[in-house]
Structure 1
Amino acid sequence: MGRSLCFPLVPDSTALIAAAQAAPGFMPSHEGLALYRAALAAPPVGPLLEVGSWMGKSALYLAAAAAESGTRVVTVDHHRGSEEHQPGWEYHDPTLIDPATGLVDTLPAFRRTIAQAGAEDLVVAVIARGETLAQLWNTPLAFLFIDGSHTDDSAQRDLRSWAPHLAPGGTLAIHDVFPDPADGGQAPYRMYRTALDSGDYEELDGTDSLKLLRRRD
């Protein structure tokens, strides 16, 4: 799948980056800009895909790259929050509880973020678990960004599910990679090490906790 798609009028990348910087979320601006640049530099062999969307902040950085390169961003998230977002955990936000179900629901906030940025024609949102969509997916990816649940089981599952869909020469981006346990959780770091130690990837220049790998041809 090449990057020759035609779109309705969408904001330019400058406006999308500004919207991303203003959107709710946990990604620092300098890492978001690095994500945008890495996605823009990915080979023109397919779409960009994000595992774990929260409220859409990183999706807009990817949308800015997609707007320039003529592709789309697919985001996959069940929108029920990760473990750390559940009641009683560190990052729980009670305003995100759906009173009808009693469960975390970030989908309304995500849709609002994407709509307010005018990016609905660039961002294709799939509401599902990542591994569920991966079983149905058959399009090579130019860029894969993994920023889902931060447990070892889920992080390794995301990598196993989606790495086979990354095209040769494509870029794998992993967020919240902290080699020092004092700086943050270790599941994304161990996922990163699993990918790098496989021999299937070469490391690119990352930015702080955003690590970048290129799948070998």
Structure 2
Amino acid sequence: MDLPLDIGSIKGFLADDEADALYRAALDRSQHGPVLEIGSYCGKSTVVLGHACRQHNSVLYAVDHHRGSEEHQKGELFHDPELYNEAEAQFDSFGEFRRNMAKADLHDTVVPIVSSSDVASRHWQTPLSMVFIDGGHSLEAALSDYRCWAGHIQRGGILAIHDLFDEPENGGQAPIAIFRLAVASGLFQPVERVSSLALLKRL
């Protein structure tokens, strides 16, 4: 994976082996259609997926309201004061995201959609070769992301879900709940598990 920007310099929570798996999946699938990610934050996964898409002159839709998930808010565990706009009294990662897209030269590949996931999906018509879910980690948010976007994945396409933890003491259970829901639906088959990332194939 030869990226135009060191992703270690980008704020985010994606491990190197997870980044490699995402890149390989997007490199394969982006020749069949566009890719979409939910939860861009500052763009770490966006650079990985976007660079893969660029190899096939494809597009990555990056969906994020950039106001932070529950855990990013002031006083919460993963709050970053550098991303908090004191004048507006709100979290805002979009400026940092845009700077990282510029550094990675991905403006012609990445299409930022600054919106909540459910609003962005309301009139969506484009089939997707791959969807990466890494948005809000409440059960309500994770279920909404899955229900809004899983149906847009092409047959043979990939559903990737981040932050899967089998045991509650290791992390929140919403992502693994939608992983299990996807498997139980009979529409998706697990194909790879790397650290806290799962890749499933649309049957």
Same fold at TM > 0.5 = yes
Aligned-partner Cα distance in 1 for 2:187–2:3: 36
Aligned residue for 2:11, secondary structure, equals coil
Q: State the shift of 1:87 in Å.
A: 1.0
Q: State the shift of 1:43 in Å.
A: 6.3
CA RMSD in angstroms comes to 1.3
Structure 2 residue 130 is the aligned partner of structure 1 residue 143? yes
Contact 1:76–1:128 under 8 Å retained in 2: yes
After TM superposition, the score normalised by the length of structure 2 is: 0.96
Cα deviation code 1:136-189 (max 9, x no counterpart): 210000000000000000000000000111111110000001112222111100
Aligned-partner Cα distance in 1 for 2:52–2:83: 29
Match of 2:34 in 1: 47
Contact 1:43–1:169 under 8 Å retained in 2: no
Aligned residue for 1:156, secondary structure, equals helix
Match of 1:173 in 2: 160
Structure 2 residue 62 is the aligned partner of structure 1 residue 75? yes
Match of 2:20 in 1: 33
Aligned residue for 2:189, secondary structure, equals strand
Aligned-partner Cα distance in 2 for 1:184–1:64: 29
Aligned-partner Cα distance in 1 for 2:185–2:137: 21
Contact 1:204–1:213 under 8 Å retained in 2: yes
Structure 1 gaps, min length 5: 1-12
Structure 2 residue 138 is the aligned partner of structure 1 residue 154? no
Identity among equivalent positions (%) equals 42
Aligned residue for 1:15, secondary structure, equals coil
Aligned-partner Cα distance in 2 for 1:79–1:205: 29
Q: State the shift of 1:120 in Å.
A: 1.1
Aligned residues: 203
Structure 2 residue 5 is the aligned partner of structure 1 residue 14? no
Divergent runs of 4+, >3 A: none
Moved more, 115-124 or 47-56: 115-124
Q: State the shift of 1:108 in Å.
A: 0.4
Aligned-partner Cα distance in 2 for 1:94–1:205: 35
Contact 2:165–2:196 under 8 Å retained in 1: yes
Superposed counterparts of 1:183-198, under 5 Å = 183-198=170-185
Aligned residue for 2:67, secondary structure, equals coil
Contact 1:46–1:139 under 8 Å retained in 2: no
Match of 2:88 in 1: 101
Q: What amino acid is the match of 1:121?
A: D
Contact 1:144–1:166 under 8 Å retained in 2: yes
Aligned-partner Cα distance in 1 for 2:119–2:34: 18
Contact 2:142–2:175 under 8 Å retained in 1: yes
Aligned-partner Cα distance in 1 for 2:201–2:32: 14
Match of 1:126 in 2: 113
